[in-house]
Chains A and B, each alone.
Chain A
Amino acid sequence: MGIRLIIYFLILFLGFIIGHKDKINDGLYRKINILQNVCLYVLLFIMGIRIGLDDSVISSFLSIGYMAVVITLITLIVTIGIVRLLSKLILNRKGEDKIEL
């Protein structure tokens, strides 16, 4: 995990440097944006394939899937609630989607 983390950071950093140096004009940036969308959907599609190919995931989902769905949904709702509360307390956030400092 450590090496993976370093690789992710280095790739982000490389992209950051190129973006920061204004090497990319708006026309090229729009094309990159389209490529970014295509990559994203392909990645999600492949992630789906991994789940679909794993027979144990599908079969166990049919037997204990309802428990997994209940725990996941409750966890997500509680997490969103706690983080929302903390963000209002700590960031004094006024807007809905902007991070007010």
Chain B
Amino acid sequence: MSFNILLSVLLGIGFGYFILPSGFLEYTGTIIDIGLCVLLFFVGMDLGRQKDFFQNIKELGYKMIFVPFGVIIGGVLGGIIGGMVLHIPLGEAAAVSSGLGWYTLSSIMLADYSNELSVLAFLVNVLREVIALIAIPFVAKHIGFIESVSMCGATAMDTSLPVISKFTDSNTTVISFVTGVISTISVPVILPIILNILGG
């Protein structure tokens, strides 16, 4: 299954790079929006078919908040360790990784600080989304459902949600949506804080 996902993304990259004209880019946003809405509708339907859905969510309750909390801490800490390995300023590496997969916002927010950092933020967060999508089936099967959600970060509420829904269960799908929402809200708050504290 991971192979099919990888193949779809790689075929797309190949088509985009070698075959399609650059003018096609403006249509892809609309196609993705429509496709995403159709898939989210199906995800909702899958959730609705689970008869014990409300009981499960009631039991999970506030406990599910630890997932986005772990995602945020992991994003910052992972960047710091990455900075140590690459010998680049820790604050800059942590700011880049605290984009949590939201590549458009993180690269825009870092554009004023430095162009190089903005490009790095874009790449890191695009890669996070692509690797997460490819690795979800493997991580869900061999490590755990919640761990597969944690990789997605901010994309857990949209582009990664259909994949999470397909390879995990209904509880995890709800946790994924909540994780994505909280991660998304936290990026514009945490990224400047990290840059100020560690980048100064």
Residue B195 CB within 8 A of the other chain: no
Q: Mark interface residues in B98-137 (1 if CB within 8 Å of A CB, else 0).
A: 0000000000000000001001101110111111110100
Number of interface residues of A (CB under 8 A): 74
* Contact call B67/A83, Cβ cutoff below 8 A: yes
Known contacts A12-B177, A15-B47, A87-B144; A64/B11 CB under 8 A:
no
A97 to B145, CA, bound (A): 5
Min distance, Cβ A26 to any Cβ of chain B, angstroms: 10
* Contact call B81/A74, Cβ cutoff below 8 A: yes
Return chain A residues, CB-CB under 8 Å to B53.
20
Known contacts A52-B14, A71-B96, A72-B124; A12/B43 CB under 8 A:
yes
* Contact call B78/A78, Cβ cutoff below 8 A: yes
Q: Which chain B residues numbered 5 to 56 have a C-beta less than 8 Å away from chain A? A: 5, 8-18, 20, 22, 24-25, 28-29, 31-32, 35-49, 53
A74 to B165, CA, bound (A): 25
Return chain A residues, CB-CB under 8 Å to B131.
72-73, 76
* Contact call B150/A12, Cβ cutoff below 8 A: no
* Contact call A16/B77, Cβ cutoff below 8 A: no
* Contact call B60/A49, Cβ cutoff below 8 A: no
Return chain A residues, CB-CB under 8 Å to B13.
48-49, 51-52
Question: What are 18 A-B interface contacts by the 8 Å CB criterion?
Answer: A15-B46, A39-B35, A43-B162, A45-B9, A45-B11, A47-B12, A48-B11, A52-B17, A53-B20, A67-B120, A70-B82, A71-B82, A71-B86, A76-B78, A79-B70, A80-B74, A80-B147, A83-B146
Closest 8 CB pairs of A and B: A48-B12, A52-B16, A15-B44, A19-B48, A79-B74, A75-B78, A20-B48, A19-B45
